[in-house]
Amino acid sequence: MTRKLDEQFLVERFRPACGLTKNMVSAGVEFAYSTLDIIDAKLLEAGLTRLSGLVELANLSTIIGNLIAEGIVKSGRNVFGRAGAHKYQDLRSASCADHNVEIKVSLEKNNPKAHLAKEGHYLTFRYVLGDSEGHLDREVRGDVAWIWEVRFGYLRLEHFNVSNTEGDSGKTAVVNKAGMQELVVIYQNPGLEPTRRSYRSRSTTA
């Protein structure tokens, strides 16, 4: 089965911004899906678990974000280029630096987070782990990633809650409630929307 973003849930009022279009968002997600499915198929052939069971969920979120960025670039006919790993921002506009876009991915209903708070355009994705057919068990996580929400907008420094406490694992800047409201929903699939209930399988950190 070729997995696709269910385009009936793409918000019609979203208009191209920074060169980004709904078709590019769909292409980015579908590139991520197809790449993950190829990797998973090889892992399963070798008698292993899918990639989601081999890496920390925070790392899985990063992988998904990088794949989506690559898919957007490939579909965009030179609208964007890649910044490269660990570089801000993920999508570099070919026409104007003010149109660069940072991509952030988070699990379930977790708010996206960055290492540092930085002002700019953000494209955020939230995903769930279901089965290979897209069915979601809200008690136990599955092992296949499905995007349930996409948002886009411009965030300022006040839209982040910054943590840099002694003994912490490092600096983090989580998009706060006001920031999430600033980001406009451009895709939301109610059939995949998770609840806030805890899963029994793994930690929700991602």
Residue 34: half-sphere exposure toward Cβ, Cα within 13 Å: 11
Which distant-in-sequence residues (6+ apart) come within 8 Å of 180 by Cβ? 111, 151
Which distant-in-sequence residues (6+ apart) come within 8 Å of 86 by Cβ? none
Domain ranges across the chain? 19-188
pLDDT in tens, 110-145: 999 988 899 999 999 999 999 999 999 878 899 999
Q: Which of 35, 72, 61, 24 is nearest to 186 (CA)?
A: 24
pLDDT in tens, 148-191: 999 999 999 999 999 876 555 557 899 999 999 999 999 999 99
What are the tokens at 100?
Answer: 């660069």
pLDDT in tens, 96-106: 889 999 999 99
pLDDT of residue 183: 96
203 pLDDT exceeds 50? no
Find the helix or strand (DSSP H, E) in which 141 lies.
Answer: none
- For the domain 19-188, what is the CATH code? 3.40.600
Which distant-in-sequence residues (6+ apart) come within 8 Å of 167 by Cβ? none
